[in-house]
Every structure is written in C-alpha cells, then in structure tokens.
Amino acid sequence: MVEATYDPGVTVSLVARRNGIQPNQLFAWRKLAAQGALTATSAKEEVVAASEYRALQGQVRELQRLLGKKTMEAEILREALDVAAPKKRPLRMLSWPGEGSR
C-alpha cells in the first residue's frame, strides 16, 4: 500500500479509501518506511513485536543463568567425589592377608 501511494496520479487518500483504512494510518506507514522500518520485511525476515523480543531475551538470560548454576553444581560434585573416593592403589602394592608377618 505504501508503494502504491508513490505512483503517479495516485493520492494517499485514494489508496487508503481503496483499502478501507484511514489516510493518517497510511501517512504514518509512509513515514516509518522512510525511516527504514520496512528493512526487515524487505529482507524476508520475520518481524516480531519489541515486547516479545525483550521477553525472549529475558528467557535466554534466565536459561544462561540456570546453565551456569548447574555447571557450577556439577563441578562442585565432581570435586567432592574426588575427595571422597579412596585412591586406587596398583595391585602390586597390595599384599595378601598374613604376608606381611613373614
């Protein structure tokens, strides 16, 4: 619709009337287009509301925080296992019961 308003002999009011919208809405869209707001649509990318984008960013931050927390917990548990697990000795160092008394 915005592009149609730039055709020779066509007015914004005419295009708005043909499409059942108010001319001021079409003027606002023309202004946004002039400011580059249609860049995403011309690139065939999905356009989402800024509030939805911010909400998704918040979810990503929360998931990153939880992942960091779980990674830290896993490291702590691994260190605790290392401390608690008895060190394995090579078999040649072990002796049979009673061999040490000979």
Q: Cα angle vertex 14, ends 9, 15, to 5°?
A: 95
Cβ of 75: how many Cβ atoms within 10 Å? Answer: 10
Instruction: Indicate the residue type of 32.
Output: L
Spatial distance between the Cα atoms of 49 and 70, rounded to a whole number of angstroms: 32
Cβ of 27: how many Cβ atoms within 10 Å? Answer: 15
Kindly indicate the confidence band of residue 83, based on its pLDDT and cuts at 50, 70 and 90.
Answer: confident
pTM: 0.41
Which element (helix H / strand E) includes 1? none
Cβ of 15: how many Cβ atoms within 10 Å? Answer: 20
Half-sphere exposure (Cβ direction) of 41: Cα atoms closer than 13 Å: 7
Instruction: Indicate the residue type of 90.
Output: P
Kindly indicate the confidence band of residue 84, based on its pLDDT and cuts at 50, 70 and 90.
Answer: confident
